Each structure stands twice: as C-alpha cells, then as structure tokens.
Structure 1
Amino acid sequence: MRRFLMPVLILAFTAPALMALWQKQDLPDLLAAFADSGELLQGCGDVPEAIALAEELRDRALRIERYMQSIDDRKAELANAEATLRARLRELKAQKSGLQSRRQGTTSDVRADIERLVALYDQMKPAEAAAVLTNLPADFAAEILIRVRPEAGARIIAAVEPRQAALLTAQMGARSVRKQ
C-alpha cells in the first residue's frame, strides 16, 4: 500500500505544476498556490506525513520565491552596471577621438614647421648653414640634413669641420637604422 501511495502523491503534486508550465504560467505564482497549506491540508489534518509534506512544500516555495527575487535584484544590478559601463565606454571613445584629432593637428603643425626649416636651410649658402648646424644638437642637425635636398646637404656637410661632419653623418645613419 505504501508503494502505491507515494507515486500517487507525487503525481498529485507534480501534475498541477506541469500543467501550469505547459500553460506558461508564472512558476512563483504556482508555488505560492502550493504554499497555502490551508487548502492543501483540507481533510488531511490528522495525517502527520501530509502536514510535514505541506510544510516542506511551503518552505521550498518561500525559498524559491526569495531566490527568484534575488535573481531579479541581481539582474537589475547587472543592467545598471552595464549601462554605466556603456556610458563610460562612450565617454572614453569620445575622449580618444578628441585626443587623436588634436594629435593629428599637432603632428601636421610640427611637419609644417620642419618643412619651413628645411626650405630655409635649402635657401641658405652652404657655409652659413654649416655654421648654424654645428651649433645645433647633433640629432636635430642630422634630421635637417636628411630632409634638405641632397645637393644642398652635400654642400653643407662639405662646409662643416670634418669631425663634426663625421658626427652628423653617424647621426643620420643611426636615424635611418632606428626607423627600420
């Protein structure tokens, strides 16, 4: 008799749950319906197993309800965090594009200044350009010599003292090696 009673009880309790799921009802509402022990125990108040089972079902339904609420709370927290992160990402992208545009503007200004300097040294007499370049830092002077016309650069280096010309030539070679 006992073996027959347990499957019947299981079927009696799971059939409404399966029907509700099949009809796409909300699971917490379904469990809350089972949690009302007054209806469950109607006519079974004298069976201790039924009372214990009803209490356990009620406790499980309450735990599930609390768990579902905590999941909903976490979903809301995650949505807020995601929105905050997306806003921060948009802000950072805007800052990055602003920096890039400023950097490009600065780079183009520097290139224009260097081109003016190179044009200036191209127009100078080789002896005058050599006198000025020997007083500049070697790496800067080498950069200018690399950018001037080859004929003008050759005349300027010829006008420089041999030791200084060797230093400038070494700097020009080192610059070319660094770019590779």
Structure 2
Amino acid sequence: MSKPLLPVLTLMFALPAAALLWKGQDIASSFAAVAAAPEDLLEGCRDVPEAVALAEELRDRALRIERYMQDIDARKAELATAEATLSERLKELRAQKDKLGAVRAGDTEAVRTDIDRLIAVYDQMKPAEAAAVLTNLPADFAAEILMRVRPETGARIIAAVEPRQAALLTAQMGARSVRTP
C-alpha cells in the first residue's frame, strides 16, 4: 500500500517546485521563506516530535542552501570583476603590441634606408677601394653588402679582393642564399 503513496507524495513536492521554476521565481527566496517561518509548518503538529525534528531539519537545510546561494552570487560577482579586469588588460596589451609593431616597422624602414645608402656608397666606390674596406669588415657583413650591390660592381670588387678572402666572401654569400629561401 505504501508503493502507490510514494508517487503521489513525489508529485505533491515536485509540482510546486516545477511551478516555481516555470514562473521564474527565485528558489533561494522560497527556501528563505521556509527557513523564516518554521512555525507555520508546525501548526497543529507540535506534539509530534518527528514533525518538529523534520521542520528543524528543513529549516537548517533551507538556511544552508541560502548561504550557498549567497556564496555563489558572491563568486559570480568576483568572476565578473576578474573577467572585466582581464578584458581591460588584454585591450591594453593589444594596444601595446600594435604600438610596438608600428615602432618596429619604423625601425625596420630606417634600417633599410641606411642599408640602401650604404650600398649606394659601395656602388660608387672604385672596386679596389671597396675591396680594401670589405676585407676589414666581418665576413658576413661584407657578404651582405656584396649581395646587394649591382652584380657587375660586386664582381669587380670580388676580383680586387685577395683570392683567399674572395673565397671566404663567396662562401658567406652562398651560405646566406641557402639560409634565406
């Protein structure tokens, strides 16, 4: 006989909860209402110790649930604050990155302009004079200059360089070509 009673009791408790959810009411406030007024639950049942104990247990659970809900709300607020802070920091970092990229682009353009001027100077020099200067420069830098001057000027400069130094510069030029596809 208790088996048909269980589904009926389940429906009695589940339907009001579902109705609250359906209406969009705040469940925490419903628990708070139960916790605030346990006397209404006990009306006419004060002489039954099980009912009193159950009412107290329900009140305690409602209070715990209310505290949990408050903790969850506080954590939500903390998360929202942290998210806003992170979003602002991300915007700042992106702005700094864009600014740094613009500075680097300006620096790169300035370096290119300087290199173009240097190459123009070597193009205008006599091959023997350019060869004398290039032999005193680091091999990779000299090879870079030779790679950028006009081919006929580069050929005359290499011809004016000592054969061992010319071989070294040619090897550097070849290595540079292999490194940069």
Task: Using structure 2 for the length normalisation, give the TM-score.
Answer: 0.91
Q: Distance in 1 between matches of 2:4 and 2:56?
A: 22
Q: Distance in 2 between matches of 1:3 and 1:39?
A: 29
- Structure 2 equivalent of residue 141 of structure 1: 142
- Structure 2 equivalent of residue 33 of structure 1: 33
Q: Give runs of aligned pairs for residues 55-70 of structure 1, distance below 5 A.
A: 55-70=56-71
The DSSP-based 3-state class of the residue aligned with 2:17 is helix
Superposed displacement of residue 143, structure 1: 0.4
Q: Give runs of aligned pairs for residues 44-63 of structure 1, distance below 5 A.
A: 44-63=45-64
- Structure 2 equivalent of residue 78 of structure 1: 79
Task: Name the stretch that deviates more: 74-83 or 4-13.
Answer: 4-13
Q: Distance in 2 between matches of 1:34 and 1:173?
A: 86
- Structure 2 equivalent of residue 126 of structure 1: 127
Letter paired with 2:63: L
- Structure 1 equivalent of residue 89 of structure 2: 88
Deviations 1:112-142 (A, max 9, x none): 1111111111111111111111111111111
- Taking a change above 3 Å as real, the CA distance of residues 150 and 57 of structure 1, as seen in their structure-2 partners, is same
Q: Structure 1 vs Structure 2: percent identity of aligned residues?
A: 72
Q: Give runs of aligned pairs for residues 13-28 of structure 1, distance below 5 A.
A: 13-28=13-28
Letter paired with 1:26: D
Are the counterparts in 2 of residues 44 and 51 from structure 1 also a CA contact under 8 Å?
Answer: yes
Q: Distance in 1 between matches of 2:83 and 2:89?
A: 10
The DSSP-based 3-state class of the residue aligned with 1:45 is coil
Superposed displacement of residue 90, structure 1: 0.7
Task: Name the stretch that deviates more: 107-116 or 4-13.
Answer: 4-13
Task: Name the stretch that deviates more: 119-128 or 30-39.
Answer: 30-39
Q: Distance in 2 between matches of 1:161 and 1:152?
A: 16
Letter paired with 1:30: S
Task: Name the stretch that deviates more: 89-98 or 47-56.
Answer: 47-56
Superposed displacement of residue 21, structure 1: 2.6
Task: Name the stretch that deviates more: 30-39 or 86-95.
Answer: 30-39
| Paired residues, number | 180
Are the counterparts in 2 of residues 17 and 30 from structure 1 also a CA contact under 8 Å?
Answer: no
- Taking a change above 3 Å as real, the CA distance of residues 42 and 139 of structure 1, as seen in their structure-2 partners, is same
Superposed displacement of residue 63, structure 1: 1.0
Q: Distance in 2 between matches of 1:101 and 1:109?
A: 12
Superposed displacement of residue 86, structure 1: 0.7
The answer to whether the aligner puts 1:102 opposite 2:103 as a matched pair is yes
- Structure 1 equivalent of residue 113 of structure 2: 112
- Structure 1 equivalent of residue 160 of structure 2: 159
Letter paired with 1:32: A
